[in-house]
A and B are shown apart, each in its own frame.
Chain A
Amino acid sequence: MKSAHDSLRLIADRLADERAAAHSIVATLRASLETSWDRPLPEAWRTLGFVQELTTAATEVLEQDPAQSRALAQFALAVGTAVPRADYPAITVVQLEGQAWKTLGTAHRYLSAHDAALRAYDAARRCFAQFGALADEHAAVDLAIAVVFSEIGKFDEALQLIAKAADVFASFSDEQHAIQGALLKAMIHHRRGDLRLARSAYEYALRSAQHRDDLHTLAAIHNNLGHLLAELNETSAAADSLARARDLFAGLEMPIEVSRTEGGLARLLLNNREYERAIALLQPARRHFLSLGMIEEAGVAALDIVDALVAMNDRAAAQQLTETVLAEFRAARLDRAIVAVAYLQDLLREHPAPSASIHHVRSYVEQLRSDPARVFLPLPE
């Protein structure tokens, strides 16, 4: 058995050496990727270790810059095509290519390109399906596909995939993915409006996550549970949950999520008629989103401020802010959102009680992020 042991050590050492060699090159490549697409690939880059480093880099930048994540994952696949396959075990080739496809799919999903995401995930599935030993990787792709399905409203298909993947995660004792599956299931019940089921599913996910060192997942569960509790009018519990989420995201140095969670806390304050406090939270969040070019999210925060201003009888300031949002959406060419905000602008001039319409427009703009083709319909008179 010495030879099998030795061959495993050899491949492990080889991949580790290739990754170590690729590490600094990939770090530099991040800044100059655009120019590398049309240059011949250096011989030394044509290794699986290089592919793995590129995929890792793509995962690292996903939260901050999904477009760069997509470019890095695509480059990983291009390099993977040039790697001499016979030099590596077949399972290692398909595992690393599958991971690159999965990362590409997730980058597309972050960019709301659902069809492209599903195509990439399907390619990942084909890679992992070749070897039974990669069943957990395959199940992780199924879970990622379930996320896309849940975002495009295919809830039953998503739940089926989650159930299928859960069995595999259990067989690997893979708690992290199992909790992510539980979180996604809770979100689907939540999106469907089945708040009772959603609550018990979030609480189950929370209990499972609390003993693990996965603060990111824990923060996401607290955030979503906070929103659910707010919908159930359990204001105090909702505020606690959202504050926990915000603190966890702050500790993880995830400023976008901190701003999003503060947006949730602000909406809670709005619901509680604490308008000035809500505006104090929303304004920095809006500025943060604008500084990152996240125009839709900045617009959603602005519409919450408009809501507060109208409630405070400051209609002039509400109209002025709506005009600013409209100008931002026009500059970003967000055509569908422009129609909705232009409608709101007209309404604010003449309607005596525009609150329901503000909520309607806000909700529409928020949903555009997951459903960009959605058509705006005004509320019936």
Chain B
Amino acid sequence: MLQFCTFIFTELPTALVASERQINLQRADVGAVYEEHRRLLVGTAVSRYGIGEDDAETLVHDVFLAYIIKADEVVDVRSWLIGAICNASKHYVRTRARSVGLPPDIIEEPDPASVRVVDQLPAELAARECFACLTPRCQLALRLRYLEGYSAPEIAAELLTSAKYAQKLVSRCLQQAYDRYQSKGAGK
């Protein structure tokens, strides 16, 4: 018996190969679709999942923002929007279920997220400015290393190079960030 195993699997969304058409749909459809379906979606979140009206409106807004990007791939708009609001509502309910009530005297306490804001905020802003100064190669390398947690061998596999060179690239990019951020500061 001969072997027959040239499998073909396809996962190319036809919409993604029609860029210009997609741009036009993205622009034209959303207003009309929003007007037509908003009430239904808010009603679904409120009545089926017990979500308050304000939060339901926020979820519906997210659903339409997601729809803007997907517009050309969606065949049955109504079904897709209902699916999206149901999944968004379930996610919301799951997240809320993990929340615990705060004691009444918490009002006197500072928000823990803002305790280190004086140190943290400038550092975050500086980091963002640093990233903005870099070449795309360094942006990718530092993103992989520090935002996604890739190891040097993983960066090497991504960039088709050796682990040693990947390590060197990260160091060089850190230096580039430092130098460019410094000279930007001096320019001011």
Contact = CB atoms under 8 A, between A and B. Distances in A.
Nearest to A169: B83
B66 A134 contact: yes
Given A133-B87, A135-B84, A227-B5, A8 B14 contact: no
A136 B81 CA distance: 11
Interface stretch (A55-63, A318-326, A328-336): A55-63
A270 B1 CA distance: 10
Nearest to A27: B19
B84 A175 contact: no
A228 B5 CA distance: 8
B11 A131 contact: no
Contacts of B147: 81
B131 interface: yes
B183 interface: no
B83 A63 contact: no
A187 B7 contact: yes
Contacts of A366: 3, 5-6
**Which of the four size classes fits the interface of chain A?**
35 or more
Interface in B19-71: 19-20, 22-24, 26-27, 30-31, 34-35, 38, 57, 59, 61-66, 68-70
Interface string A335-371: 0000000000000000000000001001100110000
A62 B139 contact: no
Contact of A5 (B5, B17, B31): B31
B12 A231 contact: no
B34 A96 contact: no
Contacts of B66: 91, 95, 131, 133-134, 137
B136 A75 contact: yes
A60 B17 CA distance: 5
A75 B138 CA distance: 11
Per DSSP, chain B at the interface is helix
B108 interface: no
A13 B139 contact: no
Nearest to A96: B69
A91 B62 contact: yes
Given A38-B136, A56-B17, A136-B83, 19 more contacts: A4-B38, A11-B65, A12-B31, A16-B24, A19-B22, A19-B26, A40-B135, A56-B22, A59-B17, A81-B147, A92-B68, A119-B148, A131-B91, A133-B59, A133-B63, A133-B87, A144-B11, A224-B8, A359-B3
25 contacts: A8-B34, A9-B31, A12-B26, A12-B27, A15-B69, A16-B24, A19-B19, A20-B23, A41-B135, A75-B140, A92-B69, A99-B69, A132-B91, A133-B66, A136-B70, A136-B80, A147-B11, A172-B83, A175-B75, A180-B10, A187-B9, A231-B1, A231-B4, A363-B3, A366-B6
Interface of A: 1, 4-5, 7-9, 11-13, 15-16, 19-20, 23, 36-41, 46, 52-53, 56-57, 59-60, 62-63, 74-75, 77-79, 81-82, 89, 91-92, 95-96, 99, 106, 113, 115-116, 119, 123, 131-137, 143-144, 147, 168, 171-176, 180, 183-184, 187, 190-191, 214, 216-217, 219-220, 223-224, 227-228, 230-231, 245, 257, 260, 263-264, 267-268, 270-271, 359, 362-363, 366-367
